[in-house]
Amino acid sequence: GDSVTQMEGPVTLSEEAFLTINCTYTATGYPSLFWYVQYPGEGLQLLLKATKADDKGSNKGFEATYRKETTSFHLEKGSVQVSDSAVYFCALSYNNAGNMLTFGGGTRLMVKP
């Protein structure tokens, strides 16, 4: 079956550091890929998505590129802020809108001032 694997956290960074959160997937078809963010005490929010190979999703300074050859969708940000502290989930779906999602286990990011 399909699955998503993320690097284990927590990831602890200082403000303005470069962020990478690794995500790889196993899929029987050609899914769309997503990153969701969960801030403390809040529900999941869609951060960015990519619907086909070599697409780059970007939002709020975050970006991720759909790499079919390495089955990866790593999340990056050039300069993190304290407000980026949250749990980040990588997910796949066979629906471009992201319904019936398969999620990874999540990676907690802690950014220190």
Phi, psi of 77 (to 5 degrees): -150, 135
User: Which residue's CB is nearer to other proteins, number 41 or number 113?
Assistant: 41
User: Which residue's CB is nearer to other proteins, number 17 or number 59?
Assistant: 59
Q: Is 42 in the site for other proteins (CB under 8 A)?
A: yes
Q: Is 14 in the site for other proteins (CB under 8 A)?
A: no
Tell me the C-alpha to C-alpha distance, in Å, between residue 24 and each of 8, 16, 65, 89, 102.
Answer: 12, 25, 12, 12, 12
Q: Is 97 in the site for other proteins (CB under 8 A)?
A: yes
User: Which residue's CB is nearer to other proteins, number 17 or number 58?
Assistant: 58
